[in-house]
Amino acid sequence: MSHVPAPGDSPLRSERTPRDEAPQFVLPLVVRIERSAPPARTDALETAARAVLLLLGDERARGAGEWAEAVRNWEDARIRKVVRRARGAEWRRAEALPGITVTGKSAEVRVFPPVPLDGWPKDLAKLQVSGTELDDPEPPAAADPALPVLWLNPGLEMSAGKAMAQAGHGAQLAWWALPGAERTAWRDAGFALSVRTAAPADWHRLTTAGLPLVRDAGFTEIAPGSCTVVADHPALR
C-alpha cells in the first residue's frame, strides 16, 4: 500500500522535517521534444500527470513488485519529480530503460521508477532540464466538469517542465485522497483528466474548498510554500 501522509505532514511542505534526514529519491520524467514537432504545452502537462498515475497504479509499484521498494522510499520522503527533455537518440536510449511511456494527443512522456537524488542512470542524468518551454497552438477547450481537473495557480509563471512536475504532484495527491473504489474507477477510465489555469476570480474558492493542494518546496523557480495546483476530482468535492 502506498504511503499516505497524515494531515499536516505533506511531503510537499517547505520546512524541513525528520524525513529530510532520510535518503532522498526523485521520480524522473522525460518529455520528448523533437525540434520539428514539439508537443502542445497543455497536452504535455496532462500526459505527465497521467504518467505519474499510471506508475502509481502499476502492479510493479505495489506490494512485492520490482519497483515497489523504490516507490516506498520515494513516498516516505518528499515526492520530488524532475522533468527532463529528450529527442532523437536520447529519447530512444531513455525508452530502453525500465519505465512507462504515455502518449497524449501530441506529447510523449516516459516515467521511470524513483531513483536516488544523486543516483540517476547515466542516460537520464545527461538529459537537459532547461529548454522545456512549450506553447499551446490555440487556447485549450474548457475543462469537462465531470472529469478531474488539475487547476494551476493563475498568479504564477512556471516553465513547462516545472508545470509538468506540479501537475504530477496534484495528480498524486488526488490519488492518495481517493478511496479504493474511486482509484479503480479512475484507473479503468485511463486516468482521464484535464490541466487548466484557474480563472483568477476562482482561485480563492478552489484553495478553500478542502481539495488537495500542492505547496511547492521551493527547490526551483518559485518561492517555498507557494500553492501551485488544486486537484479537483469529482469524488473529492
pLDDT along the chain (237 residues), means of 10: 37 55 88 96 98 97 96 88 96 98 98 95 94 90 95 95 96 96 96 98 96 82 84 95
Q: At 174, phi and psi to the nearest 5?
A: -65, -45
Using DSSP's 3-state secondary structure scheme, residue 125 falls into: helix
Is the Cα torsion angle 208, 212, 217, 218 positive or negative in sign?
Answer: negative
Query: Per the confidence metrics, is the pTM higher than 0.75?
Result: yes
Reduced to 3 states (helix: H, G, I; strand: E, B; else coil), residue 213 is strand
Write down the pLDDT at residue 204.
96
> Which of 54, 26, 2 minimizes the C-alpha distance to 115?
26
The three-class DSSP label of residue 94 is: helix
Cell numbers of 42, please?
497543455
Distance between the two ends of the chain, CA-based, in angstroms? 24
Cβ-proximal residues to 159 (8 Å cutoff; 6+ apart), any chain = 130, 132, 133, 221
Residue in 188, 172, 192, 32 with CA at minimum distance from that of residue 110: 32
**pLDDT of the residue at 44:** 98
Q: Which amino acid is at 226?
A: S
The predicted structure's pLDDT at residue 8 = 36
